[in-house]
Amino acid sequence: MLSTIISCNFNDPSIEILANYNFSYYNNNPVAVGGEYLKDSIYVQVYSYTTPTDVSGFTVEFKIKNGGGTVDKQVVKTKKDGKASTRWKLGTDSFTQIVTARVTDPNGNVFPEAQIVARGLLYNAWNEVNYYPLNQLSDMASDTITHQSWMISASKVYKRGDNFLDWQQVDESKLNGGREIEIDKNGVVYIGTWNGELVKSTDHGLNWIKCTKPIPDNPYFFYLWITNDGDLWATRYDRGLWHSTDGGITWSNPLAVTGETFTMNGAYRLKNGWLVSMVNFGLLKMEIMKSEDEGKTWNPISTTAPEYPYSVYVTGKDEIIIFTQSIAGIFKSTDLGKTYRKVFEGSVTFNTSAMQSYVKKFGMDYYIAIPGHGVLQTQDFEKFETLFTEPNIDGLYIDHTGSIAVMGWLDKLNTSFFYGRK
């Protein structure tokens, strides 16, 4: 329910009559599909301090200000209880939609205009969302087999409901301080927390259990990655690399760091057994590296790999895709990283946060967030279509329906963009 109350209190004797009233502006169900009616009518309620039993005869004028919708009645008289209502059919011009309401009393005195806000879900279009919790999106994971999606926003865990903007908080104390979320090939949901814990659910969120702590004696966050064989990998810059092959029950430490730093961004298992990641290993910059011994030792995947990557992705065909900042483009290798070819030219206009998700696959399509450019769509990393032009983004996710969520950044820091699919 949206309720805006305006209390009039003027010192000018010529309009002193206005001080006798206040108003509420109601929208009980402020979300609907664009082009359809809100479930409930919107209305204005007039309250009188002098004649509380009869507040009829006020004129309320409703006007569409934003969104392109319509109201069934633009001019409505209040009834005895002071209420004037109309039905609002949302438009399809924008996600945020606004109706203004102006009240005039029976003596012709005009009161301050107020706004009633609704959200019109736009399918197959981009919705710019600036309200909590969707504007604080920090991670998302989905399972297309069981048709479930999970989101983390402001350290809280949410599960998707009926539509792409319907997310309900999961009431589970073990998930307090959620930081990142991953789903393995068997549909097991893993959530890493800010205090170094790992929690998982093997029954699609009905029950949650704590795993063995990935990095012992670590009271802080860590980075979690799951390779396509189901193995778990945890890193933190000062704690080396940790590996679990049994769903987080036991962990080994294949790479202990002594006097060096080590972090990895992404974890991909190639068909030949290599582990590929973008690694910071005591370097001033990230580098695409490989391990042929389960993470014990790491080496650059190639001397010809493009410099200054901000992300790496490996397709099901073992094609290695590198996204770069300084050379401004996307590079593709079809020979396990020996050689690379630039397949897309596009500059990155600001430094990226290296641990974000920039590529997601749904069906036959890959969706790519290019900070400073927008969202690309491709099926082969050869031909690209710009699906969304917006420079202020950093991170992309897809739910189980194929709806796309993109994190806002810089000028759009407290905003998320959602492309909804039914």
Mean pLDDT of 153-182: 95
Which of 121, 145, 163 is the endpoint of a domain?
121
Token pair recorded at residue 249: 């029950």
DSSP 94-145: -SEEEEEEEEE-TTSPBPPPEEEEEEEE-BTSEEEE-STTGGGEEEEEEETT
Which of 121, 156, 179 is the endpoint of a domain?
121
Burial of 161 per CB tally in 10 Å (0-12, 13-18, 19+):
exposed
Average pLDDT, the chain: 90
Predicted pLDDT at 14: 32
Burial of 119 per CB tally in 10 Å (0-12, 13-18, 19+):
buried
Q: In 3-state terms, what secondary structure has residue 418? A: strand
Backbone angles phi, psi at 275, to 5 degrees: -105, 120
Instruction: Say which residue, 257 or 63, is predicted with more confidence.
Output: 63
- Rounded to two decimals, the pTM is 0.88
Predicted pLDDT at 178: 96
Mean pLDDT of 361-385: 96
DSSP 235-255: EETTTEEEEESSSSSS-EEEE
The CATH number given to whatever domain includes residue 59 is 2.60.40.1080
Residues 25 and 68 in one domain: yes
Backbone angles phi, psi at 14, to 5 degrees: -70, -20
On whether the CB atoms of residues 304 and 340 are closer than 8 A, the answer is yes
Mean pLDDT of 59-68: 97
Q: How does residue 238 score in pLDDT terms, banded at 50, 70 and 90?
A: confident
Q: Are strands 156-160 and 148-153 parallel, antiparallel or unpaired?
A: antiparallel
Residues 96 and 134 in one domain: no
The CATH number given to whatever domain includes residue 352 is 2.130.10.10
Residues 261 and 405 in one domain: yes
Backbone angles phi, psi at 178, to 5 degrees: -60, 135
Task: Check the CA dihedral 44-46-47-51 and report its sign.
Answer: negative
Q: Closest by alpha carbon to 278, among 232, 223, 326, 316?
A: 223
Residues 113 and 200 in one domain: no
At residue 1, does pLDDT exceed 60? Answer: no
Q: Rounded to an integer, what distance in angstroms lies between the CA atom of residue 93 and that of residue 31?
A: 15
State the alpha helices, DSSP H only, in 204-343: none
Backbone angles phi, psi at 16, to 5 degrees: -60, -25
Residues 235 and 347 in one domain: yes
Q: Rounded to an integer, what distance in angstroms lies between the CA atom of residue 113 and that of residue 8?
A: 12
Most confident range, picked from 43-52, 128-137, 256-265, 278-287: 128-137
Residues 195 and 257 in one domain: yes
Predicted pLDDT at 237: 86
Predicted pLDDT at 351: 59
What strand order describes the sheet that includes 341-345?
A: 309-314, 320-324, 329-333, 341-345
At residue 7, does pLDDT exceed 60? Answer: no
Mean pLDDT of 303-308: 88
Token pair recorded at residue 49: 């301090």
Predicted pLDDT at 281: 80
Residues 256 and 388 in one domain: yes
Residue ranges making up the domain that contains 283: 126-419
Tokens 């769903």 -> residue: 247
Burial of 355 per CB tally in 10 Å (0-12, 13-18, 19+):
middle
At residue 420, does pLDDT exceed 70? Answer: yes
Give the chain's domain count. Answer: 2
Residues 196 and 322 in one domain: yes
Residues 278 and 219 in one domain: yes
Q: Rounded to an integer, what distance in angstroms lies between the CA atom of residue 334 and that of residue 321?
A: 9
On whether the CB atoms of residues 363 and 144 are closer than 8 A, the answer is no
Predicted pLDDT at 134: 95
Backbone angles phi, psi at 174, to 5 degrees: -65, -20
Q: Are strands 167-169 and 156-160 parallel, antiparallel or unpaired?
A: antiparallel
On whether the CB atoms of residues 249 and 269 are closer than 8 A, the answer is no
